[in-house]
Structure 1
Amino acid sequence: MNLLVTGAAGFIGSHYVRGLLAADAPDAPRITVLDKLTYAGTLTNLPVGHPRLDFVHGDVCDAGLVGELMADADQVVHFAAESHVDRSIEEAGEFVRTNVLGTQTLLDAALRHGTGPFVHVSTDEVYGSLRTGSWSETQPLAPNSPYAASKASADLIALAHHRTHGLDVRITRCSNNYGPRQFPEKVIPLFVTNLLDGLPVPLYGDGHHVRDWLHVDDHCHGVDLVRTQGRPGEVYHLGGGTELTNKELTGLLLEACGAGWEHVVHVPDRKGHDLRYSLDWSKARDELGYRPRRDFTTGLAETVAWYRAHRSWWEPLKRRTAR
């Protein structure tokens, strides 16, 4: 079986691919990775040279290239996306291009070649903000940031391809991921790498914004359950079960890095900053047997230890984006 995985030189996609390649089962797929290698993607995330891995440097918006790859693909897992909210606020165009047009390009090619299942990896941010309770998969979409709006648009286009054409589309929406190899612009690796260098860390507003945290390995396990056992046309939530305010998370990271609150700089809140996200993931639990398996305390300690031991991975990335 041939599996096309987009955006797999980035954080979550590379963990997904590495997990599949580690399995030597007789039915383990051959994987083609399509990645543009933007600032957040690096080949050091992938075991290049593995006999079941082919890497293609290219853009999901390139219809000709996507068509060629889709012709040989049996299934698709689509991770490729621009995902940093702050960047989307400053310049939304690339988010619309990659996240919306790129997804449409892939779906159209999958439809032409009869490829499926097509797993589209999305986010809890498409729902907007929530004060109490948790969202089910039937919650109307109400995105607030340009990033979230672009992902919501891609979700709707994907579902339209199922409802109009019968394409086997399956959507996952996850909570905040953490773990090794996350690009150091996101909050946990940014704070950890800054603190390891003795630098300050920025805390937005009063720090009372709440996020649910999901280890990347648990997310990838859930994505593969949806790929192998999910139902066409369905949306599945993949949550972590650990809700923390940003201030609580900051305290844990300070403690893990041996730093004090004097390293925290309070900065003006982000425009349109959502107060809280929370997913009800009982559907994935009941239908697919999905459950987060990584304890947050252990997972966070392991993540901090990984960044402490892998300066050679993150230091060049921070220098490159600082230019």
Structure 2
Amino acid sequence: MANAGYAVTALCHSKIPPNENWVSQMDKVLVGDVTDQHFMNEVASYKYDVVVHLVSLDHNQSNGNPLFVSSVNVTPVWTLLDLFSKSGLGKFIYFSTAQVYGMLNGEVITESKKLNPQNPYGLTHQLGEVICEYYNKTTDVDCRIVRLSNSYGAPIFEENNCWWLVVNDLCRMAYLRKEIVLQSDGSPLRDFIHGWDVCRGVQAIIEASDDNTTYNLSSGITLSIIEIAEKIKQVFLSRYGVVLPIKAREDNSTKATNYKIDNTLIRSTGFNLEWSLDDGLNELFDNLERNEK
């Protein structure tokens, strides 16, 4: 966003990242905890046109103690909207997840699909969406909800905890162990979108003048985990001349049927994907070459 000319204030949880180039592009960098009311009051004391709320525990962490999980995944959404709705905020972009839809089987998923979350991660994001919808109805803040599929891509900072993401994890495993080991038979299906395309999607939503409030942010391409592994194998062979073995568990008793997370609505804003899967995999291997000695 800074590269696009926006004056960006970044919120960091524990410290300012040791990346001087990145810091120099920020208008401000604030360090604090979104569960801290005093820090939230400080954040809200500044005047902003747009707030992009990305804070959330990951899927596994969201299975923890409900009091703690809701203090991170839910309460800050309410707190920020309560504070900023009183100070003239224009747009609030809330990052939800496609997991609010629940089980996906043999269908095209549009934003109008009934929500049916199957885990605490999806449930807490549905609650966040409800809060946004409430403030859309009762205040002048224009809340936009982003239902993200599965992102991937090289980290901006060394300390970024992004290697648990499926594509990232498999690339790192391939690079370090010279093998790809799957935790399933490879049949689970996923829609993957590169992190830089996610950023471009946010910009498209910020600049959109339509009346839509919810967008699927996805590639619109569904692949099985084994297909992802095979693609990584191909890229690795092209780069390093090494044929990687792929190890998968025995067949699961049930097979997922193909689905598509439709991204027509966000494309109507002028958004288009720029990163192919090949480009994204090569970027990850470039990063691993620089940082994994």
- TM-score bracket, normalised by the shorter chain, equals 0.7 to 0.9
* Alignment map for 1:1-323 (pairs within 5 Å): 20-23=1-4, 28-37=5-14, 43-44=17-18, 47-50=21-24, 52-74=26-48, 75-83=50-58, 85-89=59-63, 93-181=67-155, 183-198=162-177, 201-231=180-210, 234-257=213-236, 258-261=242-245, 264=247, 266=249, 278-286=260-268, 288-311=269-292
Please tell me whether the aligned partners of residues 60 and 106 of structure 1 are also in contact (alpha carbons under 8 angstroms): no
Alignment correspondent of 1:3: none
Separation in 2, partners of 1:146, 1:87? 9
| Cα deviation, residue 252, structure 1 | 2.0
| Cα deviation, residue 51, structure 1 | 5.5
CA 1:157/1:297 → structure 2, altered by over 3 Å: closer, same or farther? Answer: same
| Cα deviation, residue 184, structure 1 | 1.0
5+ unaligned residues in a row in structure 1: which ranges? 1-19, 313-323
| Cα deviation, residue 187, structure 1 | 1.3
Alignment coverage as a number of residue pairs: 280
| Cα deviation, residue 275, structure 1 | 7.2
CA 1:46/1:92 → structure 2, altered by over 3 Å: closer, same or farther? Answer: farther
CA 1:108/1:120 → structure 2, altered by over 3 Å: closer, same or farther? Answer: same
Q: Deviations over 1:89-119 (max 9, x none)?
A: 3555543221101111111111121212111
Please identify, of 218-227 and 63-72, the stretch whose mean Cα deviation from structure 2 is larger. Answer: 63-72
CA 1:51/1:127 → structure 2, altered by over 3 Å: closer, same or farther? Answer: closer
Please tell me whether the aligned partners of residues 16 and 29 of structure 2 are also in contact (alpha carbons under 8 angstroms): no
Please tell me whether the aligned partners of residues 163 and 233 of structure 1 are also in contact (alpha carbons under 8 angstroms): no
Separation in 1, partners of 2:121, 2:164? 15
5+ unaligned residues in a row in structure 2: which ranges? 156-160, 237-241
Separation in 1, partners of 2:179, 2:66? 28
| Cα deviation, residue 249, structure 1 | 1.0
CA 1:106/1:268 → structure 2, altered by over 3 Å: closer, same or farther? Answer: farther
Q: Deviations over 1:49-90 (max 9, x none)?
A: 41643211111222222222223132211111112x233335
Please tell me whether the aligned partners of residues 100 and 122 of structure 2 are also in contact (alpha carbons under 8 angstroms): yes
Separation in 1, partners of 2:278, 2:109? 25
The letter of the residue matching 1:220 is C
The letter of the residue matching 2:142 is D
Q: Deviations over 1:4-32 (max 9, x none)?
A: xxxxxxxxxxxxxxxx2224xxxx23221
Please tell me whether the aligned partners of residues 174 and 244 of structure 2 are also in contact (alpha carbons under 8 angstroms): no
Question: TM-score normalized by structure 2?
Answer: 0.84
Separation in 2, partners of 1:274, 1:232? 34
The letter of the residue matching 2:151 is N
Partner SS state of residue 132, structure 1: coil
Identity of aligned residues (%): 24
Question: TM-score normalized by structure 1?
Answer: 0.77
CA 1:91/1:194 → structure 2, altered by over 3 Å: closer, same or farther? Answer: farther
CA 1:52/1:87 → structure 2, altered by over 3 Å: closer, same or farther? Answer: closer
The letter of the residue matching 2:244 is G
| Cα deviation, residue 204, structure 1 | 3.1
Q: Deviations over 1:119-149 (max 9, x none)?
A: 1122211111211122111112111121111
CA 1:209/1:49 → structure 2, altered by over 3 Å: closer, same or farther? Answer: closer
| Cα deviation, residue 308, structure 1 | 2.6
Please tell me whether the aligned partners of residues 128 and 142 of structure 1 are also in contact (alpha carbons under 8 angstroms): yes
Separation in 1, partners of 2:19, 2:222? 28
CA 1:299/1:189 → structure 2, altered by over 3 Å: closer, same or farther? Answer: closer
Separation in 2, partners of 1:93, 1:277? 34
